[in-house]
Amino acid sequence: MELQVIEKDETSLSIEISGEDHTFMNVLKGALLETEGVAAATYDMNPEQSGGQTDPILTIKTESGTDALDALEAGAQHVVEKADTLEAAYDDAAA
């Protein structure tokens, strides 16, 4: 996975996440929307200006006082925690 910051200011971040698809992006977006201080999170797989399919561009808007990069880190950690919980539940069910 390769990340490229497209635009960043105090309360917003647009970042291209190469090699990912809707599956991962929907999970990450959902985790971001559950993250304290995040006002909005969305992604675009096919911006009009690109003329075709691109790597997804994630956009995060935060409330005043919440850094967008910190919010991205917290959202990503939330994804890891959800995956760990799912793995533990699966292991328990398979035992």
Report the interhelical angle of 22-33 vs 68-94 (nearest 10°).
110
Tell me the domains of the chain and their CATH numbers: 2-94 (3.30.1360.10)
CA gap 85, 81 in Å, rounded: 6
- Read off the pLDDT band of 74 (50, 70, 90): very high
Give, in order, the Cα–Cα distances in Å from 95 to each of 47, 63, 89, 90.
Answer: 46, 44, 10, 9
- Read off the pLDDT band of 51 (50, 70, 90): low
- Read off the pLDDT band of 53 (50, 70, 90): low
Quickly list DSSP for 48-81: GGGTS----EEEEEE-TT--HHHHHHHHHHHHHH
